[in-house]
Each structure stands twice: as structure tokens, then as C-alpha cells.
A and B are shown apart, each in its own frame.
Chain A
Amino acid sequence: DTAVSQTPKYLVTQMGNDKSIKCEQNLGHDTMYWYKQDSKKFLKIMFSYNNKELIINETVPNRFSPKSPDKAHLNLHINSLELGDSAVYFCASSLHSRLAGAGGELFFGEGSRLTVL
């Protein structure tokens, strides 16, 4: 059983289209994340949810809309895709802890490679 699974793994689409990436975790974690990894391999956090509540929303264009129907799922919908959206999108999950120095590591999905033509 994959701990954090993302679908699809590859996505090729035209500019202007709308697409979604789905993520599910079976680890019982209460916090989930979306990260974007660009062509230079830089990993930037986009969103984080804790028990379905949005807790981190970085400066991401509002064409990106996350949705968490329950604490095991976090989806990412992207409207009006642009060339610059081409990247690998990683979903991750972790246990929440009141202390940042405690708690576990992030478990990552395999990534979803989005190519916008």
C-alpha cells in the first residue's frame, strides 16, 4: 500500500486548460501539503491543510485552488494553465505537533509532472 499517492503521475496539456491533481494518504496524518518543484529543483511550499482547514497559503496565483474533502485527501485544481506552471507537484503529509521541534517527517508522494505546451 502506497502511503501517499498522487494521480496522475504525468500530465501534458495545452495553455489555457484546467487540470486537477489528486492526493491521498493512508497514514492517518492530519496535515497535508502541496509543494512545487521547478526546473532548477527548488521545492516551494504552496499550501498546507490541517484537518481540512487551510493553514498555509503562500503567494500562489489564485488560479491554483486546493481542496481537502477530508483529512486523508488533498486535491489541487489549476485553472487557465500557463507555461510557467510546468513543474513537478508533490503532495506530502505529516503528523501535526504543537512543537515544531517534535513530530515526524514529511512523507511525500511520487510527484506529478505537469507539462504545459
Chain B
Amino acid sequence: AQKITQTQPGMFVQEKEAVTLDCTYDTSDQSYGLFWYKQPSSGEMIFLIYQGSYDEQNATEGRYSLNFQKARKSANLVISASQLGDSAMYFCAMRERQSGGYQKVTFGTGTKLQVIP
């Protein structure tokens, strides 16, 4: 079973509009972390935002916010006021504990976002 599911392979958004990228996850742990990364066409992985499973408030970082709905096991990324530079692949990821106490970070398949002028 997929640990992280991103159901939108591609999305379009008009410049200056807001966009939501979906992410659902599957874990039976109580303690876990959720991340979003951006990968522009240049290839580097850029960390955007983090949400811990015990955090009661949704994480925000500038124009990025994470809509965390624990009961639904969803961690959607909201980008407000889209810019042309937001065009990229976006990956949702989850860190959870493995047997032996160590942690593993698993990535979703990504969503390609294109911002239209």
C-alpha cells in the first residue's frame, strides 16, 4: 500500500491565484512528520514546510500553508498568490518510525504544477 498518495499528477493555476495540492498518508503511528518539497526544472530539492503530528496548528511559511487534517490523514499544501516561479514538481513526504526505533522518510509520486501568466 502507498504510504503517501498524491492523486494529482499535474495541475494548472493562473498567476496570482491560490492552488491546493493534495496529499494523503497512511500510518498507524501517533508520532510522525509531514513535509512538502519543491523540485524546479533545475533539479534541486527545496524544503517548503513541515508539520509534526502533534502540532495543533497548521504550519505556515510565507505563501505556503499546510492544511493538516489528522482524522482524514491529509496534509494538503496551499500556495497563495501563485507566481511563475512556483512552476515545479511538488512532493509530499512522511517521516515515520521503523522497527528498531529509526526513522524513514517516504515520498509521494509528486504533482507537477504549472503557473499560467
Contact = CB atoms under 8 A, between A and B. Distances in A.
Contacts of B109: 40-42
Interface string A76-117: 000000000000101010101111111111111011010000
25 contacts: A40-B109, A41-B39, A41-B109, A41-B110, A42-B107, A42-B110, A43-B107, A45-B104, A48-B102, A88-B43, A90-B45, A99-B31, A100-B33, A100-B96, A101-B33, A101-B53, A102-B31, A103-B95, A106-B35, A106-B93, A108-B45, A110-B44, A111-B44, A111-B45, A113-B43
A94 to B, nearest CB: 8
B105 A45 contact: yes
A56 interface: yes
A43 B105 CA distance: 10
- The B contact surface, by secondary structure, is strand
B98 A56 contact: yes
Interface residues of B, number: 33
B52 A108 contact: no
A48 B106 CA distance: 12
Interface residues on A, range: 20 to 34
Interface of B: 29-33, 35, 37, 39, 43-45, 47, 50, 52-54, 89, 91, 93, 95-98, 100-107, 109-110
Given A100-B32, A102-B52, 15 more contacts: A31-B103, A40-B109, A43-B91, A55-B100, A56-B104, A88-B43, A92-B45, A96-B102, A100-B97, A101-B32, A101-B53, A101-B54, A103-B95, A105-B50, A110-B44
Contacts of B100: 55
B43 A111 contact: yes
